[in-house]
Amino acid sequence: MQTQSNPKTQTQQSNVVFTRTKATKSGTKESPNWVRISAASAIALGFKSGRFTQEFEFGGINLLLNYDDGCKSDCAYCGLARTRPGDYEDKSFIRVEWPLVETDTLVERMRLLEAKLTRLCISMVTNPYAFRDTCTITDTIVRNVRTPLSILVAPPTLNRAKLEEFKTRGVDMIGIGLDAVTETLFRSLRTDVPAGGSGLSWTQYWKIVSEARTIFGPWKVNCHTVVGLGETDFDLIDMFDRLVSQEIFPYLFCFNPEPDSRMGSTPKSTITRWRRIQLAKYLVEQRSYKVKDFEFSNDGSLTGIKTPSATELVAAANDGIAFMTNGCPGPNGEPGCTRPYGSYKPSESYRDYPFLPSTTDLQRITSELELDGLTL
């Protein structure tokens, strides 16, 4: 394994200029030398003891940049939000702790366990050093591990040149955490917020989506969309249609209230709504359905699906793929980033399955879908 370069002496390799020198406090554990990893990643890489309720092949490793002063954003639903009570280093993200590990040690573990890895992802945070540090970590990973690498980007920190830089350095896919699927909702949850939006604007997000699509190509960009932030079913399905028509993957996430966040007491969507949205997204993405193929009530709730055959629709549900975790693919196109228990507790029903649902799972899903309640 190669030694990670000191960011302060990093050789300039491209047209992107690192103009700021980071005043790293002595002894702090910040990126790029340190990163946080998801609890599931920590278990898979042997940093932490533990196990999953149901054994399955897990190889999707998620990294999160770490800074003493944290993420500058203040999104209403996020565990890392600036105004969420508590020290940043103690904050949870998607409700569990993210262990802090040394980047070199992490990459060494990845190298040793490369055969079982399916996808790597660096999640940026809104921080002035995030781009530069993501480049440094990307270089270290790409030099040592062949597993495809994604970056979940922080659009306020980026522009076209910086996205091109990611591509040049070997990044395979770009994710954009849009989360809120309408401009009004985005503004209320992410822009017009107590600590200020730190440049989180609907316009900037879409600019980065567009630039990333141009640079990385078809089906190499994804947008995260969250069910349960206050949007309607129409808003979601319309967004899926718009993204798929641009050959951008919509990835679906279920809102899961983060304790003490501003949306900490907002309930998550009902399981039936969630299952129907999962199925609708699958139909749009995999079966060429358009938003016009769905029926909605006046308040935007899904009431029907204009399917050529109800049997076909049931068959689509029964193949189970619609209900699996959305994430970037592995080297052979298989689900590569499966985030077990990312949006539900182990004692709750799987909101999204990190493996293909079994026959028993599908019986439960069918019941939860309540297709009888939709006009087909």
Burial of 346 (0-12, 13-18, 19+ CB in 10 A): exposed
What region, left, alpha or beta, does residue 139 occupy, with left being phi > 0 and alpha being psi -120 to 50 degrees? alpha
Q: How far is CA 332 from the centre of its chain?
A: 20
Neighbours of 289 (CB within 10 A): 23
Under the criterion CB under 8 A, does residue 344 sit at the interface with another protein? no
* Element of type H or E holding 224: strand 221-227
Residue with smaller CB distance to another protein, 18 or 52: 52
CB 251 to another protein: min, Å: 21
Under the criterion CB under 8 A, does residue 25 sit at the interface with another protein? no
CB 52 to another protein: min, Å: 5
Instruction: Locate 8 and state its tokens.
Output: 């302060």
CB 364 to another protein: min, Å: 16
Instruction: Locate 36 and state its tokens.
Output: 């946080």
CB 108 to another protein: min, Å: 12
Residue with smaller CB distance to another protein, 46 or 217: 46
Give the count of residues interacting with another protein (CB under 8 A): 19
Residue with smaller CB distance to another protein, 82 or 91: 91
Instruction: Locate 309 and state its tokens.
Output: 């055959």
Residue type, 101: V
Under the criterion CB under 8 A, does residue 97 sit at the interface with another protein? yes
Contact 158, 201 (CB under 8 A): no
Residue with smaller CB distance to another protein, 97 or 295: 97
3-state secondary structure of 313: helix
The site map against another protein for 180-199 (x = CB under 8 A) is --------------------
CB 345 to another protein: min, Å: 7
Q: Which of residues 305-324 bind another protein (CB under 8 A)?
A: none
Contact 60, 339 (CB under 8 A): yes
CB 77 to another protein: min, Å: 20
Report DSSP state, residue 270. P
CB 275 to another protein: min, Å: 21
Under the criterion CB under 8 A, does residue 341 sit at the interface with another protein? yes
Under the criterion CB under 8 A, does residue 347 sit at the interface with another protein? yes
Provide the pairing of β-strand 100-102 with 34-37: antiparallel
| Residues in Cβ contact with 258 at an 8 Å cutoff, skipping those fewer than 6 apart | 77, 78, 79, 84, 92, 94, 95, 264
Q: Any bridge partners for residue 221, and if so which?
A: 174
Q: Which of residues 28-87 bind another protein (CB under 8 A)?
A: 39-40, 43-44, 46-53
Binds another protein by CB under 8 A, chosen from 340, 357, 365, 374: 340
Binding site for another protein (CB under 8 A): 39-40, 43-44, 46-53, 96-97, 340-341, 345-347
